[in-house]
Amino acid sequence: MPSSTAATQLLRTRISKICVAIIGTTAAEMIEKATAVVRETPFLEFRLDYLEKPANALPKLKQFLGDNTAATAIATCRREANGGKFTGSLAAEMEVLSKAAAAGFQLVDLELESAEALKKGELQKLRDTGVALIISHHDFSSTKDLDKVYERIAPFQPDFYKIVPTAKTLSDNVTLMRFMERMHEKANIIGICMGDAGIISRVLGLRAGSAFTFAAATQGEETGPGQIAARTLIETYRIDQVDAATKVYGVAGNPIRSSLSPIMMNTAFRRETVNAVYLALQTAKVSDLINLVREIPIQGLSVTMPHKQEIMAHLEKTDPLSAKIGACNTVLRAQDGKLYGFNTDVAGIVGPLEKRMSLRGARVLVLGAGGAARAAVFGLRDKGADVFIFNRTPETAQKLARQSGSKTVKKEAFAKTTFDVVINATPVGMAGQKTSSVLDVKDLNTKLVFDLVYNPLETPLIRLARQQGIPFITGVEMFVQQGARQFEIWTGKPAPEEEMLRVVLHSLRQQAEAAAAAAPPSAATEKPASPRRKAAASR
């Protein structure tokens, strides 16, 4: 039988919305990490399966729990067959969990497959220790019939049902959240979708009825695919404040993992006291995105590669600029539920250039022919610039040139042609991209370089421009400008541009420092530009 309802309710008053997963190869390492987070987030899961000999660590963990009586702790010793690291037998797993209960852990997490393999009466011995029981099921491949998973767990009558599928699409999050909405009054459900597409469930799952969610202690210590650091959940997503009235926005693209839009936009919402949350929406299909928009519902979208052109077919109406360009980067859901499109990329590109030069008659080379390139080309042509387009697929460049009244140019002509501005509107140089540079030194015959890639802060093209003494604009300036216009379209409030710029620069510097620290000494062949110098260039 499960623990009494009164005991479970008492336990629920102790647990917070976020349970922080603690990992380590030794008890001392686990305690060090737990000590760093326990005051801010006192609900902890100790992944005992990360230890070589979990049972030997329990006396020290018992001492930690005795010293931190406000902490509530889950003991997990997941076997390898079920996605964990424990190589012992089922009997050994049960022994570890029983000893953990005796050591002061208030909850134990037992995977469904282990529970189903136990002999009659063995589970009751664990219950007799007075510990609360979580029965968990993880599907590392997909999101299937969640009601069937529930039906498998139900005979064990646990205190908490933990159901964790993998989101292959955004719509899988909807499947999980609809399930939790139906079931949370019937049982204590913990529901999370793993994977890059599952971030929605990690932030909005509580609103749908999940008893709590899991977080990593720090970035890089994730215990499941797509898990988010506790501080990010609290500070960026303000998960404690997400409620039924919270409006949902997001950035849709593929890939989307390295996007800084969530930290920039959530910072803007917090600064202007807007009850909204902004999520990263990883999807390969626009139809999947549109389904999510209607089901959640989502109030607004930032649309990035590769969906800026395809999204147009799903909009009720667009502004004249988006219609002319044939690409949209901003979607607003109106009160009637219909979707309207805008293009703020143009303002993000033309604005920074006009601060530095007159565009009428300027010779501008645009690299690329996708959504961002189209915004650059049409925006520049509207200002009277003479635009030249280069794309690795010549036919696409030629089509854009015909539509905009521009010209195409071959790469071999770069060295013999002078430009006022070179704009990189391709993903080359973006974090995670293998291609190092789109241009060689001999190709850079220009007075100004503008790289629309904002992450990393110093792209290969920006580094090349700096080495040649050519003035440059980093993608951060464009990124913040277009984001500020999106914020204003969605909220009707002036955007806190300085704060948005500050948080983006801070994040990029942190990433650069982390990358530099991780690089071997031989890789540091060149001293990078100082953050102050780079920040000045970005403005």
Domains of the chain and any CATH numbers:
14-244 (3.20.20.70), 249-343 (3.40.50.10860), 346-479+530-538 (3.40.50.720)
Q: Note the pLDDT of residue 5.
A: 58
Structural tokens at position 93: 């797993």
pLDDT at residue number 526: 45
CB atoms within 10 A of CB 175: 18
Q: Are 368 and 420 in contact (CB under 8 A)?
A: no
Closest among 349, 345, 352 to 329, alpha carbons compared: 345
Q: What is the mean pLDDT of each run of 10 residues along the chain (539 residues)?
A: 58 89 97 96 97 96 97 97 95 97 97 96 94 97 97 97 98 98 96 96 97 95 94 95 96 91 98 98 96 97 93 96 92 96 96 97 96 94 97 95 97 94 94 76 95 92 95 96 97 97 95 82 48 36
Catalytic residues: 308
Helices (H) and strands (E) in the chain, counts: 20, 20
pLDDT value for 272: 97
How many Cβ atoms sit within 10 Å of the Cβ of residue 230? 24
Q: Cα separation of 471 and 487, whole Å?
A: 29
Q: What pLDDT score does 95 carry?
A: 97
Give yes or no for a contact between 188 and 159, defined as CB atoms under 8 angstroms apart: yes
pLDDT, residue 517, reads: 84
pTM of the model: 0.88
Q: How far is CA 534 from CA 117, 384, 511, in A?
A: 59, 30, 14
Residue 66 to residue 44: CA distance in whole angstroms: 14
Q: From CA 259, how far away is CA 266, in angstroms rounded? A: 13
Question: What's the pLDDT at 528?
Answer: 46
DSSP annotation string for 7-47 = HHHHHHHH--SEEEEE--SSHHHHHHHHHHHTTT--EEEEE
The first and second tokens of residue 120, run together, are 């009659």
Residue 161 makes CB contacts below 8 A (sequence gap 6+) with 134, 135, 150, 153, 154, 183, 187, 188, 189, 190
In angstroms, the CA 106 to CA 535 distance is 49
Q: What is the DSSP letter of 341?
A: E
Task: Identify whether 165 is preceded by a cis peptide bond (ω within 30 of 0).
Answer: no
pLDDT at 516: 81
- pLDDT, residue 527, reads 45
Cα radius of gyration rounded to whole Å, the chain: 26
Can you read off the two tokens belonging to residue 167? 């989101």
Check: CB of residue 134 under 8 Å from CB of residue 162: yes
Please classify residue 359 by burial: count the beta carbons closer than 10 Å to its beta carbon, then call 0-12 exposed, 13-18 middle and 19+ buried. Answer: buried
State the sign of the Cα–Cα–Cα–Cα dihedral 164, 167, 170, 176.
negative
**Type of residue found at 442:** K
- For residue 148, count other CB atoms closer than 10 A to its CB: 9
